[in-house]
Amino acid sequence: MTIGAAAALLLAFAAPLFADPPDIITLSETGVFGSLSRAPVRITHKDHMALEGVDCLACHHQGDPSVTCASCHVERQALQNVFHQLCITCHEAEKRKGRVTGPRTCGECHAWQK
């Protein structure tokens, strides 16, 4: 394989990493959760990416934004656990560093939008 062909192949697989994400990401995953008993969690992608020490792999541990948490965590409790572990752990760590942090309680994350 030539270097040019290898580079083209790499770019084809890396393209999703450079796509513009939506401003607001809603974590609802109704395919796994079914009907929601709490409001879906809404996060701002831009705010999270602006945090010191946070990169794509902080949330997209597979390295590909098209791979969602529900791609692997296909059972309701497993998906809920991974969301809670990822989000709450990070928010608590930011708080311990004395930084402004996002919500850490159920009602703060799962706030019904007006």
Confidence grade of residue 3 (pLDDT, cut at 50, 70, 90)? low
Q: Average pLDDT, whole number, for the chain?
A: 82
Structural domains counted in the chain? 1
102 or 13, higher pLDDT: 102
Q: Name the band, by pLDDT with cuts 50, 70 and 90, for residue 113.
A: confident
Q: Which domain holds residue 39?
A: 21-109
pTM above 0.85, yes or no: no
Could you tell me if residue 6 is inside a domain?
Answer: no
The CA distance from 8 to 95, in Å, is 42
Q: What is the CATH number of the domain that holds 101?
A: 3.90.10.10
* Mean pLDDT, range 51-62, rounded to an integer: 84
Assigned domain for 37 exists: yes
CB atoms within 10 A of CB 100: 7
Residue 3 lies in a domain: no
